[in-house]
Chain A
Amino acid sequence: MIVYTCEDSFEAILTCIYDAWASGLGHRNLKLMVEPVGNLELFCEYRHVDPDSTKVESVIRSIHKKISGYAYQMIFRCAMSCSSEKADIIYRFLLLGFHYGRQITDMVQLPPVLALFELDRAVGNEAHYFREFIRFLNMRGNVLVAHIEPKSDVLTFLAPPFQDRMPSENWMIIDDNRKSAVIHPSDQDFYLTTLTEEEFKRLKTLEDPDDPYIDLWKGFFETIAIKPRENYRCQRSHIPLWYRKHATEFQNPLP
């Protein structure tokens, strides 16, 4: 078994797919994995692939031409997933996709298609949850800052809806785990960037813990529930504990 491995980026994954395809080894004899590879297996040969923009372009063009733009979007979302299987799932999907063409995205009865759909849904759901549950803190200077710790790399999906929502505000969303951020200066387009440890720390000091709207919101949130209908399990199924970490209304409840 030959295992093609690459770093965890969209470009690297597509390059990896290109190389695996071009190897002519036969699809049954190879596998794709994103690094770091967990348990190395004895009878496998690992081949690391570096991203190559010409190959990336060629794969993107083929997806658009032979399958559809819709399929491309799904693949892009899947590539942002935290699953270690994602490169292989995309690869298996493309094998079928290049064969069946556009209709492949209706063929959910095929396991590799289903696998891609499920991955896509997981990433889409996570991005949507953060769109609902992220909370901005008001910083001195009227800049809004939100922190998230997502499993998948959802920043690219979060930024456009917030740019539409608050086009004339200064805001940023920070992925605490990846130390990456989208920054949106008022009336301009957002951009992605990475933060150094110092920048990260400096931002913390600018937060305004006395923002009066924090308590107003908590008060509202507690009041709005109807006692005789109290149902914590239902609440938990909608807003899992894991998403509450940065949600204002779940931090230090009012006395």
Chain B
Amino acid sequence: MLELRIALRFLWRNKVQSVLIILGIAIGIAVQVFVGSLITSLQDSLVDETVGSSAHVSLEPAGGQVAFPFTAQDRATVSADPHVTAVAAVQNLSALVPLRDGSVPVSVKGGTLADLDSVYGLSDKLVSGEISLTGNHIAVGKDLAEQNGLAPGAAVQLVLADGSTVETVLEGVFDLGAQAANERSVFSGLELASSALGLPLDRVSGVEVQIADVFDSPEVAAGLQSVFPQITVSEWQAKNSDLLTALQSQSTSSYMIQVFVIIAVMLGIASTLAISAVQKTRQIGILKALGMSDAKTGLVFLYQAGILGVIGTVLGIVVSLALIAVFGVVAASGDSGLFPIEPRLGFVLLSAGIGIAIALISAIIPYRKTARLDPIQVIQGG
């Protein structure tokens, strides 16, 4: 591989130039990987905050109704959709909790502990007390408990819309991760909520469904709607169009940044290689006079680009992963408000491929310039 050997010597001879362009590529790739991973993780984190522990698709009673029948057969039908990962049949009711400083509005969700765990992961989010949701036991959000001095063991009265009351006992406090939810949420067993609403156990006021990829929700919702035409099926994206627009424009600006970084890197390599091709005109001319073919002399610059591209890209990825790791340490240490960045292998490999590809593309001009060089132009001169 004479061309490779010459390419290495040319690069070695102009060490400063080579190091600078490698750094240029490395910084470009590092920015590209870091920004790309940051935005992806930010979006994942936003989506997770929004729907991580709530329904992705909901079955609700059609207009005017308060409940609909949901049999074991129906549950099996919903679960049969391969996207579906969790199904919870729930009774939703609003209530007031009379406390020292007046009444606090809460929304009570009744369901079996297994169902509620599958959607909300309640058992894992317990911060004090215990959770069984048997009999008249309820669990409440962290902020609701703290703001009103409620602790496990406390008696809590729920006042329903029709003025009737339900006496319950607080058994556990959970943290759903968002303050708004923690201020209003109360969970109870299915029986307690059903009897409060005056409904039999096989008629529910809602079914909450979680799916593997949250962005599949419109498709899953449409599928369920066609199976249950008498029920209203809704999905989270339709209810969160503002968030989705924000995510979309964030993605667009992230792509723009990445594209411009890549263009800058490409211009950098292209100009460096073009300068190198001019600097090495005499050498290329003499190599041709000695019998090296046009294509092979051109290859020298392709190899140079490849070597610069590979080293720069690898260095860039190492730097970006280091940045991500540092970011992760800062995020993990206390109340920075940061979230950890998860570098995705596919994206990192794609960025590496792009880095090497643009290096090779940048070599096209010097490749052609070199291939066209006529040795007579250089051998007569010093």
**A and B bind:** no
A residues in contact (CB < 8 Å) with B: none
